[in-house]
Structure 1
Amino acid sequence: MSKAKTVDLTSGPILKTLAELALPIMISSMLGTAYSIMDMAWIGLLGAKAVAGVGVGGMYVWLSQGLASLSRMGGQVNTAQACGRKDYDQARSYAAGSLQLTALSGILFAAVCVIFIQPLLGFFNLTDAETYTAAKSYTLITCGLILFSYLNLTLTGLSTAQGDSRTPLLANFIGLAGNMILDPLLILGIGPFPRLEVAGAAIATVSSQILVFVVMVLRIRHSRLEPNVLQHLNLLSVFPKEYYKHIFRIGFPTAIQGSIYCFISMILTRMVSGYGAAAIATQRVGGQIESVSWNTADGFASALNAFIAQNYGARKKDRIRKGYSLSFRVLTIWGLFVTAAFVFLPEPIARLFFHEKEALDTAVNYLVIIGFSEVFMSIELMTVGALSGLGRTRLSSTISVILTGSRIPLALILTHAGMGLNGVWWALTISSIVKGIVFTLTFRHISRRLPEKV
């Protein structure tokens, strides 16, 4: 059997090269969106309090992903740049080092969540017992077994770094199939299965993540791609400290950014909780609906990150600029499509998840307001991926933290100005619009200043 080639990101037609890498990642990201939306659809049958509890627990899952980005982003960028230089031994060392850091951080995060579960949930000041119980159950299971999610994120980044986006797609597709089967069985207790409700949703999610991990490992081990830097990794080796320092240098700003971003959202969630369980549920479900554009843009950003990192390593400035320009056009079109759906069809979308009138009305307002920011949010995420590919993670994090942090005072001003809960939604939208504009101008400025031989 002949060996297959990984996608060479440093040569060939740019649009075709990007599409070949990006499409599987975007489909994989959409599958990730389907995971979350499916959970919310089934949990929605249990009522707004169950959805709110999952929303609170989901905040710590989100926080974990921010922390996981240290090893994922650091490993992905360094591995991709080494592949661009055709230094595959160095690429293998970066890949193995990032997986070591991933396993360590995943275990530590799980331990913290299990040991300190009460003060962690106490932050949100939940007054409803049913909401608190749902949040505790969901957090203990999903965060207690977060290691598999961590490993999946890093393996996805490393596969993308070497131009292989099909392995994560296959693994996520199989995981989604498992989640589709387990969700109704465990949440509602169909047939011989017990009715576990929120705990069932958490078990289904973790089981799917384990399945994704197993498929990913088997696919990597038996892959005939060449070169494949993920085969024959010595995960028990201790590499020179320079490798870990380079991973930290690239990944740490992204991890801090993700963690602060999540903490800001936690503060906003605490503000939203003052408007009742329906408001919390709307924020949680609304975020999952919005992930239709968020995950798609993030998937494209991951492809663009690998594309730019490899071409940066290969010293091809012109391909970097053209790749960004083509990506900008694609995601602008996608963002406009999502905006149209949210602004003109909010009620049919909201009815898929909410059945109580109060929650439905709140969700409609959320979708209409947040819809105006979808283009800018997509461009922001794509540009963060592009800047990270150049190694500019510190700059990206600084801009993102400052502008995202502005949501808190802006939300306070708008809510006290008589806009109420809608003031929080407008704070999200305004800040996303500003971030999209600032990031675009920043990348264009930096790309113009790149030397001809970067």
Structure 2
Amino acid sequence: MSAAMSKSTHLTEGPIGKSLFLFSLPLLFGNVLQSLNGTVNSIWVGSYLGESAFAATSNANNIMFFLLSLVFGIGMASTILIGQSVGAQDIHRAKRVVGTSALFFLALSVMIALLGWLFSNAILTAMHTPTDAMPYAIAYLRIIFIGIPFMYGYNFIMMILRGAGDSKTPFYFLLLSTVLDIVLNPVFIFGLGPAPRMGTAGAALATFIAQFVSLACLVAHLYRKRYFLRLTREDRGLLRFDRQIISSLVRKGIPMGLQMMIVSTSGLAIVNLVNSFGSVATAAYGAAMQLSGYIQMPAMAIGGAVSSIAAQNVGAGKWDRVHKTTLLGIVFNIVMTGVLVGLIYLFNRQTLSLFLKDESALAIGMTVNHITLWSFILFGITFVLTGVIRSTGSVIVPLGITFVILWCVRTPLAYYLGQYYGLHALWWSFPISFMVNLLIISSYYLWGNWREAKMLQPPKTSESTESASG
């Protein structure tokens, strides 16, 4: 136990730049794999099944992101709690978090899978999915819902491992999932060999099988290696709804989950707006978002890394390392995101041509990229600052900022520009909202009370106020 524990607490020691770089690389490569997987699926669907099928999967994937956001907050709260516990060398508390969180994820995933499968048609209709894309979208989305428990299960274990300081193991099994998904996609889409031809539903089935196999192998690996946070027969008493842990997960996790839900619902609102311009516009926007997903990868990887590193150092009381982590994270983001932005600008048409064949769709996609890509550097800085802030458990102010930016600035501005100035004008809502967001979150980092936040409160003081929770 002590050897495993000391191996996991390395984020509180040694050169911060090296720790940040080595921890973020697997996260970055994992993000690349996930986006590559989605990109390959989109190429198969868009190039061989047409714009309607591509528009269908784009709509369904936005719903999938929304579903992930439902449990993102609980997962992040678990990650931070485990990070702080490991940093403080309190392994028993970390395992308490694992047991309680596991029950939550299991119950929620089964409920969402059932409800989602039953109401797939109604959800897509509410999104104003183009009529010609509806049959493809329903077939795709229903299988995605069936796979929700496995998707949630893998993401839960991944966040547990990252909180404990391990970003490599999740990457290895994500690689397995990605390879399986890419290999199985053409098999089920086109009905190769004994497999039936399933079209867009085949892409979803390939993802389902890949996630199931990867999750099973990951769990087996952790128990075979006797991972120090695994729950054994002796720990079965921890597999329960611990009142103190539940209180923290709810108080801290729900605001973080709501923050992601605000992001995803705002994204759905933009998709709904773009859908009103027809399938060609939806396909173009979907392709541009595929590319912007790659642009956001360094920021998301570095943001996840700084959050895990900062959480462990908060637990260890090493605040000087927390602030150095922030500065290095910003520098890493500017360099890495800036390089990707430049590459996409140089090869704008060529990259979009991987997804789109229609000239009008290509023209729309190129306009989206010209207007929005540079501003993702600002988004990356914001993501790093937010990652450090939430490592203490400060969640309320970031939630409020996100709501204001997306639902009081970006979404209304997009609808206004789209209605009065046309499709091309609405893209300006992205850089404008990113600039406002960076200004506000930077001010909160410099002068806010996020450093005073606490993840756990003593059981006997549950009625105490949470004025320092941010």
Trace 1:385-404 onto structure 2 (pairs within 5 A). 385-404=387-406
Matches within 5 A, 1:138-149: 138-149=140-151
Bigger mean CA deviation after superposition, 304-313 or 203-212: 203-212
Alpha-carbon separation, structure 2, partners of 1:414 and 1:219? 52
Structure 2 counterpart of 1:344: 346
CA distance in 1: counterparts of 2:326 and 2:166, whole angstroms: 20
The Cα shift of 1:437 comes to: 3.4
Structure 2 counterpart SS, 1:372: helix
Task: Give secondary structure in 1 for the equivalent of 2:11.
Answer: coil
Query: What is the Cα deviation at residue 13 of structure 1?
Result: 1.1
Q: 1:365-380 to 2 correspondence within 5 Å?
A: 365-380=367-382
One-letter identity of the residue aligned with 1:423: A
Q: Which amino acid aligns with 2:229?
A: V
Residue in 2 that maps onto 1:67: 70
Give matches, 1:184-195, under 5 Å: 184-195=186-197
Give the AA of the match of 1:59. N
Q: Distance in 2 between matches of 1:276 and 1:235?
A: 55
Indicate the larger mover: 279-288 or 318-327. Answer: 279-288
C-alpha deviation, 1:376, in angstroms: 1.1
Q: Which one is further off, 112-121 or 215-224?
A: 215-224
CA contact (8 A) 1:157 1:302 kept: no
In structure 2, relative to structure 1, the CA distance for the partners of 1:119 and 1:44 (3 Å cut) is: same
Structure 2 unaligned segments of length 5 or more: list them. Answer: 454-467
Q: Following the alignment from structure 1 to structure 2, what is the Cα–Cα distance between the partners of residues 76 and 124?
A: 32
Q: Match for 1:288 among 287, 290, 293?
A: 290
Cα 1:126–1:174 change in 2 (3 A) is closer
Question: Following the alignment from structure 2 to structure 1, what is the Cα–Cα distance between the partners of residues 220 and 172?
Answer: 11
1:235–1:74 distance in 2 versus 1, CA, 3 Å: farther
Rounded Cα–Cα distance in structure 2 between residues aligned with 1:398 and 1:448: 14
Please give the alpha-carbon distance, in whole angstroms, between the structure 2 residues aligned to 1:3 and 1:448: 33
Q: How far off its partner does 1:269 sit?
A: 1.3
Q: Distance in 2 between matches of 1:206 and 1:74?
A: 26
Q: Tell whether the 8 Å contact from 1:66 to 1:259 is kept in structure 2 after alignment.
A: yes
SS at match of 2:12: coil
Q: Distance in 1 between matches of 2:231 and 2:357?
A: 49
**C-alpha distance in 2 between matches for 1:64 and 1:409:** 23
1:81-131 superposed Cα distances (whole Å, 9 cap, x missing partner) = 111111100000012211211111111111221122222111122342x30
Structure 1, 15-24 or 167-176: larger mean CA deviation: 15-24
State the partner residue of 2:309: 307
Once residues 277 and 162 of structure 2 are traced to their aligned partners in structure 1, the CA distance between those partners, rounded to angstroms, is: 42
Residue of 421, 428, 431 corresponding to 1:429: 431
Partner of 1:200: 202
Q: Which structure 2 residues correspond to residues 130-279 of structure 1 after superposition, within 5 A?
A: 130-223=132-225, 228-232=228-232, 234=236, 237-279=239-281
2:139 is equivalent to residue 119 of structure 1:
no
1:87 aligns with 2:90: yes
Change (3 A) 1:444 1:230: farther
Coordinate RMSD, CA, aligned: 2.1
Matches within 5 A, 1:432-451: 432-446=434-448
Alpha-carbon distance in structure 2 between the residues aligned to 1:425 and 1:205: 31
Alpha carbons 1:60, 1:143 under 8 Å: kept = no
- Percent of counterpart pairs with the same letter? 23
Please tell me the residue identity of whatever aligns with 2:383. Answer: L
Alignment CA distance shift 1:423-1:70 (3 Å): same
State which of 37, 46, 50 in structure 2 corresponds to 1:47: 50
Q: Is the 8 A contact 1:72 1:157 kept in 2?
A: yes
CA contact (8 A) 2:130 2:278 kept: no
How far 1:236 moved relative to its partner? 7.2
The aligned amino acid for 1:346 is N
Describe the superposition over 1:260-299 as per-residue Cα deviations: whole angstroms up to 9, x where unpaired.
2211222221111111101112222222221112233222
8 A Cα contact 1:99 1:235, kept in partner:
no
When structure 1 is superposed on structure 2, of 392-401 and 169-178 the one drifting more is 392-401
| Aligned-partner residue type, residue 286 of structure 2 | R
Q: Distance in 1 between matches of 2:256 and 2:45?
A: 32
- Distance in 2 (CA, whole Å) between partners of 1:222 and 1:180 is 28
Cα distance change of structure 1 residues 143 and 87 upon mapping to structure 2, 3 Å threshold: same
1:105 aligns with 2:108: yes
TM-score by length of 1: 0.93
Aligned counterparts of 1:216 and 1:153: Cα–Cα separation in 2? 11
Please report how far the alpha carbon of residue 343 of structure 1 lies from its aligned counterpart in structure 2 after TM superposition.
Answer: 2.6
Normalising by structure 2, what TM-score? 0.90
CA contact (8 A) 1:18 1:304 kept: yes
In structure 2, how many angstroms separate the alpha carbons of the residues matched to 1:332 and 1:116? 42
Aligned residues of 1:338 and 1:371 also touching (Cα < 8 A) = no
**Secondary structure at 1:8's aligned position in 2?**
helix
Determine if contact 2:298/2:337 at 8 Å carries over to the other structure.
no
The CA deviation string for residues 425-448 of structure 1, in whole angstroms up to 9 with x for no partner, is 211232123223332332233489
Aligned-pair distance for 1:320? 0.2
Q: Distance in 2 between matches of 1:101 and 1:127?
A: 36
Cα pair distance change 1:140/1:187, threshold 3 Å: same
CA positional deviation for 1:368: 1.4
Q: Which amino acid aligns with 1:266?
A: L
Distance 1:276 1:239 in 2: 48
| Separation in structure 2 between the aligned mates of residue 173 and residue 275 of structure 1, nearest angstrom | 37
- Residue 63 of structure 1 aligns with an amino acid whose one-letter code is F
Q: Hey, what's the Cα distance between the residues in 2 that align with 1:186 and 1:239?
A: 40
Name the counterpart of 1:33. 35
CA displacement at 1:363 relative to structure 2: 1.2
Instruction: State the shift of 1:257 in Å.
Output: 1.3
What's the offset of the Cα at 1:329? 0.2
Task: Specify which of 406, 412, 417 is matched with residue 415 of structure 2.
Answer: 412
Secondary structure, counterpart of 1:168 in structure 2: helix
2:16 maps to amino acid: I
Distance 1:415 1:240, change over 3 A: closer
CA contact (8 A) 1:279 1:362 kept: yes
Deviation at 1:383, TM superposition (A): 2.0
Letter matched to residue 229 of structure 1: L
